[in-house]
Amino acid sequence: MNSSIDDRIHGNQAFKASMRAQWDTAAAGWNAHAADIRHWLHKPTDAMCRMAGVRRGSRVLDVAAGSGEQTLAIAQQVGAQGHVLATDLSPVIVALAQDNAIRAGFTHVETRVADGEDLGVPEASFDAAVCRLGLMFFPDPLQGLREIHRALRPGGGVCTMVFSRPEKNPCLTILMSTALKHAGLPARDPFSAGGLLSLGQPGRIDALFRSAGFHEVATIALEAVFHLPSVDHYLAFVRSSASPILQILGRLDAASAEAAWSEMRERLMSFTSHEGWEGPNELLLTAGRRPEGTT
Ligand SMILES: C[S@@+](CC[C@H](N)C(=O)[O-])C[C@H]1O[C@@H](n2cnc3c(N)ncnc32)[C@H](O)[C@@H]1O
């Protein structure tokens, strides 16, 4: 194998091992905030399912499903005649998704630990696919989209949800820049591969969808304000489940990490409103279809 390809593959594997460890650690926190996440993402999630073509009886692939908040919504939509496969890189978060599906009484939900860039599912075995706030964490999102394309039957649809540009997601920008500053690390290109905002550059995700072979590619931008009672509720969410920020602060001693949290709190206070706390976000929902006659 060519040595630069070899280096890239090894780099990606190391990146994913670190990503898996981060999400294993953050899994319980993400799951504990499922109700807040549902409230925040309820409307964009409905739009994502519509754009992917999820309907009663569909077989749906849910990539980077986390603890399965959207998986359960999809399971409800497809009904017992349908099927949902929830996949994720982190075994700890997949175990939580499985518990949640069992608790909800959904026997048509299956869970599997799988790297989104190598799903290991049979060719053309799903009617629709979704990936909510996951694709931006892939070191090679084009490979992730090629896997989804392969997994869909010809004519099947996909919709992904990612964060848009930094200025439209100011709280994420504040968290990241403050964490990097306190960790003594240089500012990062927000669009670099595998980061929170890596697919937010205008036109980037559409180009990836087309390169993966999808037709009828279209992106919409949706506002999704995170409404919480106070800035401290937002910080509690971030401190228990925002794995990219936790990873950066993990290199600091306790006092230095507290100094970073305290500066974040101060900067995030500016989003306090008469209704509590309202953190603006903008999401990109991108849909595409595997063309008919491609097997
Ligand atoms: C922000 S969480 C979103 C979880 C869920 N989709 C939701 O919206 O509640 C991101 C998820 O992406 C998963 N992830 C990151 N890289 C991945 C990869 N290469 N393959 C599969 N899952 C991945 C993480 O383990 C984590 O569960």
Q: Give the model confidence (pLDDT) of 264-281 as tens digits.
A: 999 999 999 998 999 999
Cα(198)–Cα(138) distance, rounded to whole angstroms?
9
On average, the pLDDT of the chain sits at 95
Q: Report the topology of domain 3-289.
A: Rossmann fold (3.40.50)
Nearest to 21 by CA among 96, 117, 90: 90
87 CA from centroid of ligand 1 (Å): 9
- For ligand 1, atom 10, the nearest C-alpha belongs to 134
Residue 4 has pLDDT above 80, yes or no: no
Could you state, in order of their start, the residue ranges of all structural domains in the chain? 3-289
Is 163 near ligand 1, meaning CB less than 6 Å away? no
Is 147 near ligand 1, meaning CB less than 6 Å away? no
Residue 250 has pLDDT above 90, yes or no: no
Residues 46-58: what's their mean pLDDT?
98
Residue 8 has pLDDT above 80, yes or no: no
What are the structure tokens assigned to 267, written together?
Answer: 């900067």
Answer yes or no: are the C-beta atoms of 22 and 247 closer than 8 Å. yes
- By percentage, how much of the chain surpasses pLDDT 70? 96
Q: How confident is the model at residue 61, as a pLDDT?
A: 98
19 CA from centroid of ligand 1 (Å): 9
134 CA from centroid of ligand 1 (Å): 4
pLDDT tens per residue, range 109-125: 999 999 999 999 999 99
User: What is the helix (H) or strand (E) element at residue 227, kind and residue range?
Assistant: strand 226-228
Cα(250)–Cα(259) distance, rounded to whole angstroms?
13
273 CA from centroid of ligand 1 (Å): 31
Answer yes or no: are the C-beta atoms of 224 and 283 closer than 8 Å. yes
Residues 38-50: what's their mean pLDDT?
98
H-type helices in 63-196, by residue range?
Answer: 69-78, 91-103, 141-151, 170-182
Per the listing, tokens 């409905």 go with: 46
Ligand 1, atom nearest to 41 Cα: 8
Residues 52-68: what's their mean pLDDT?
98
Residues 82-98: what's their mean pLDDT?
98
pLDDT tens per residue, range 16-34: 999 999 999 999 999 999 9
Is 44 near ligand 1, meaning CB less than 6 Å away? no
Q: How confident is the model at residue 247, as a pLDDT?
A: 85
Is 130 near ligand 1, meaning CB less than 6 Å away? no
pLDDT band, very low/low/confident/very high, at 293 (cuts 50, 70, 90) = confident
Burial of 119 (0-12, 13-18, 19+ CB in 10 A): buried
Residue 295 has pLDDT above 70, yes or no: no
Cα(54)–Cα(65) distance, rounded to whole angstroms?
16
pLDDT band, very low/low/confident/very high, at 244 (cuts 50, 70, 90) = confident
Q: How confident is the model at residue 131, as a pLDDT?
A: 98
